[in-house]
Amino acid sequence: MSISFLEALGILLFCYTALPTLWGRTLSLGVFSKGNKKHPFVALTFDDGPDPQVTPQLLAILKEHGIKATFFLVGQHAAENPALVRRIKAEGHSLGTHGFGHKFAWFQGPIGSIREISKGNEVIRQITGENTQFFRPAWGVFNLFSFFYPRFKGQKLVLWSLMSWDWSPRYSSNEILNSVTRNIRPGSVIILHDRCTKPIASDNGPTKMLEALPTIIQYLKTNNLKAVNLETMYAFREAGLFKRSLLQIWNVWELCFDKLAGLKPVGGQKNSLFRLAVRKYRGSIIKLPDGTCLKPGDRIGELHLNNNLLHAITSKNPSAEGLGINVLKETRRSLPILAQVISQDPAYKSVKALIGVTMIHRGTTRLGFYVYELSPGIRSIVAWYQRWLLFLLHPGGLSHLKRQWKKLVPKKVIISKDELLNRYLNEGSSWSDRGKTRPASGSINAR
């Protein structure tokens, strides 16, 4: 059965234009358009700028409310306003490219498509000194080359899950507000505009957006939704089948390890922060600042952290700093319970000190711990192990690990038994109340 020239041309045009757009817009194949609904994050994204009148006002609103957003810049507008681009970056917002001239992909050939994307990328790179990791096509429309070329260059394709309609002449600022607040959900990627792009968009669309935005932000806060940039939203995307499978296998290994290593939850509670085992100290002699002297053969409590609890904690903390702060809070709440157990359980009567190894050791000295360096050989092994744990436990996975790599240096933390009891035994947290503290957020444990 033969087909005519026009039929062949139609099939070719469909495969070049409509099919990639169908993949992206309808099926979301290879495109990031919404975040993980299990996390209370939404992403405010602004297209078509920067605009010398609107964008400064927008930045002022975002700064006033402590909001981080993502700007998809049109290359030619960025080239005309380089100082504004640098300001967006300096104020902590993410940058993506929206092409150089906001060209409609269906009307571009392969060479024109590549030029449109690469030129837009190059303008932003020259201004900021950094490559952009996100690309959003003009009008949300792809052709075959605009769909695959950014991926070849290491960029992530981004669309949206919630249209604000701020560009529409038919929508007032109140209707924009209602459209957003009615449909926003955890994981929403909201598209707004800080510049008017003809021929369809309304001249006063950005002005209406500015009028609606403060109330939108207030709605987010009232409903416990946090506006984040796309790096954070993408890092917390739902784990794929491969990682979920790895995590399930690892959980089985964790159970086996706890049994083989004799690790027991402090106070017998499965949701307690600490796992504890009594060991003989095998390191070199250490004299702690409080006068306690650890010698080989002394009995110590080997501290580990509950990785299931840490998984829940890391799911709520985008940054290493936030993770560290929250695990310190949880540690501070858990130490009185640990002190009660150590003082009352005969199994720990001969223990002289408690020792753990962690990458989140900043601030532990304020809790009574002393921090010591590991030997280079052991440090390398432990670092790889704990980085593996971070990959498994943190929703950001490998991308988060790469960003935090240099900060992830494990160290030994030690608190003497006397110091623990003197600080925490009489704080009023009874052993019978163990496990009732609410977890704040986690640390990487030291198995």
193 is an active site residue? yes
Structure tokens at 434: 């163990």
Of the residues 98, 102, 193, 394, only one is catalytic, namely: 193
Q: Which amino acid is it at 318?
A: P
Phi then psi dihedrals of residue 21, to 5 deg: -65, -40
Of 113, 108, 105, nearest to 140 by C-alpha is 105
390: left (phi over 0), alpha (psi -120 to 50) or beta: alpha
SS (HEC) of 342-378:
HHHCHHHCCCCEEEEEECCCCCHHHHCCEEECCCHHH
Q: Could you give the CA distance from residue 313 to residue 316 in angstroms, rounded to a whole number? A: 6
Of 124, 120, 128, 193, nearest to 150 by C-alpha is 120
400 is an active site residue? no
Catalytic residues: 47, 193
